[in-house]
A = this chain, B = another copy of it.
Amino acid sequence: MLGVLGGMGPMATVDFMRKLVEATPASRDQDHPGALVLQASDIPDRTRAILAGGPDPLPAMVAGLRRLEAAGATRIAIPCNTAHHWHGALQARTALPILHIVDAVAEALFVRGYRSGSIGVLATGGTLKAGIYSGRLARHGFTCVAPIDQDAVMRAIRLVKAGRVAEAGAILRNQARGLIAAGCGRVILACTEIPLALSASDEGFGDGLLDATQALAQACVSGAGAPERLVA
């Protein structure tokens, strides 16, 4: 059974759950795979830990992992991009396989025939600073590009967490357009708050946007997420 270490933030986890259900071909309740979702509320801010030496979120994430193990989870997904800075540390503390959201994104890029070039990354400052996308995608021939105004992206993410989605959407659309104008063939919505304000199917972007939350949901459903060629 899939265990979801969520709550980072809570509405982003709900968005992930919805995409998980939508990615499952089913016409009745019993066609769906089971899942166990922790809306953890006590995990310190991931970006603050990476950028400003804030409280370490790892102990609370490990505690959440233990709850999911106790309830019978057999594999883990984490619908928070920045939390993947601790992916290795978490994986070292559990026998359960933990999917990696960047592998799911790489798989989605491959499936859509996009195999090299510049990729824009709309993400938290923590995700960018920690190189969560740039390191893992560079191995596959992609070059990651940061937004022109990262402070604006961070402001938008905080607006989403406070429920001010329309304001956030305008900021994010503007930054996405800037990345495309700078030559990025694809822009990853690489913070799980972002698709709450800017959908990958938003008008005017064609197939330019790729939703990391959706990619992770798809990887969970297809049982993939860490194909050999991607983590080699």
Contacts and interface: CB of A to CB of B under 8 A. Distances in A.
Interface of A: 7-11, 13-14, 17-18, 21, 24, 26-45, 67-68, 70-72, 158, 161-163
B34 A36 contact: no
A18 B29 contact: no
11 contacts: A7-B32, A10-B21, A13-B17, A14-B18, A14-B21, A17-B39, A27-B163, A28-B45, A32-B39, A37-B39, A38-B71
Given A34-B38, A36-B37, A21 B29 contact: no
A18 B28 contact: no
A192 to B, nearest CB: 11
Contact of A39 (B7, B35, B39, B72): B35
B71 A36 contact: yes
Nearest to A35: B39
Contacts of A11: 18, 21
Given A36-B71, A71-B67, A71-B68, A29 B14 contact: no
A70 B73 CA distance: 12
Contacts of A41: 29-34
Contacts of A45: 28-30
Nearest to A19: B14
A70 B31 CA distance: 25
The 10 residue pairs across chains A and B that have the minimum distance between CB atoms: A71-B71, A35-B39, A34-B41, A37-B37, A9-B29, A27-B162, A67-B71, A70-B70, A10-B21, A10-B32
Contacts of A21: 10-11, 14
A70 B67 CA distance: 8
A36 B35 contact: no
A8 B21 CA distance: 12
A26 B35 CA distance: 26
